[in-house]
Amino acid sequence: MSVDTKLKRGFVQIPDGNVEYFEIGSGEPFLMLHATPASCMTYKDIAPLLADEFRVIAMTTMGYGQSDRPNPPYENLGQFATSVSQFLEALNIEKTSLFGTHTGSEIAAVFAAKFPEKLDKLVLEEVFNWGTPSRRAVHERIHRYYEEKMDGTHLLELWEKVGGLKEGANLKLTTERFISNLIVNSADGAEIYGGMGWEGAGPFAMTHHDMWETVEKIDAPTLVIHGTTSELGRSHEKFLTNLKRSRGINPPSQGNFSPHQAPQIWADEVRKFLREPGV
């Protein structure tokens, strides 16, 4: 069966503003949530790998990419999860399977606990419990607002942050990360996030949340992914123990895993999981 490899891009409106998204393929819906501070377009080369069998949809988290910044700013993962639910309603999707990586995995987990009737299967990649003061401090160092300067030196600081000065850096991917960071490099209206600015919206919410309380409420079949060299993988077995219906995989990784490190391995494992009758 031939697959139209052209992405359908657009916006849908929910109560807190417009949500950027794309979709490709047909079949049962499979929604993808991204890491901080990316956008749905981080999956433009990944989604087609499943589009022969699924209607793959990627949405940009509120406050990131071209999605609107909610006013007032979101303070917790429940608000982000609700925006996902409202996004699905705007597309007339009653039930979906859901994938989230890094920050996206935190939002996906809360969605699973809060809206079980809207979820078929769940894939959590590099999920972690970030809800401690020391772990919050880690994100406050990683995600911060770079004050704009007339001479543009803040742009060089952002370029360095995303790895642009590293020898052998992938220029295309680095440029995409730079643009994603630049879009959210604003502190206007984001005082609640402290020195992180709008980039800190997702990290603020997930570092004020106890993920262990959430996973106990998840009933959906769940695939847990941590890379072989993931720093977050130390919690892998605990997630499998606490989730009612789960199994896990550890694909080869360079640090924390993302689909871009091993696209075909990721696609094959996710496809197999989505095809399974249950876990």
Q: Residue type for 248, please?
A: G
In this predicted structure, the answer to whether residue 224 has a pLDDT above a threshold of 80 is yes
* Residue 277: predicted pLDDT: 86
Encode pLDDT of 97-153 as tens digits.
999 999 999 999 999 999 999 999 999 999 999 999 999 999 999 999 999 999 999
Encode pLDDT of 42-62 as tens digits.
999 999 999 999 999 999 999
Average pLDDT score over residue span 203-232: 98
Encode pLDDT of 165-214 as tens digits.
888 888 888 999 999 999 999 999 999 999 999 999 999 999 999 999 99
What percent of the chain is predicted at pLDDT more than 70? Answer: 97
What percent of the chain is predicted at pLDDT more than 90? Answer: 93
Q: Phi first, then psi: what are they for 28, rounded to 5°?
A: -65, 140
* Residue 12: predicted pLDDT: 98
Q: Which CATH number fits domain 8-141+199-275: 3.20.20.10, 3.40.120.10, 3.40.50.1970, 3.40.50.1820?
A: 3.40.50.1820
* Residue 168: predicted pLDDT: 82
* Residue 232: predicted pLDDT: 97
The segment(s) of the chain belonging to CATH 3.40.50.1820 are 8-141+199-275
* Residue 124: predicted pLDDT: 98
- Cα–Cα distance, 108 to 93 (Å, whole number): 16
* Residue 167: predicted pLDDT: 82
* Residue 1: predicted pLDDT: 45
Return mean pLDDT, the chain.
Answer: 95
* Residue 279: predicted pLDDT: 56
Average pLDDT score over residue span 6-11: 94
* Residue 139: predicted pLDDT: 96
* Residue 3: predicted pLDDT: 55
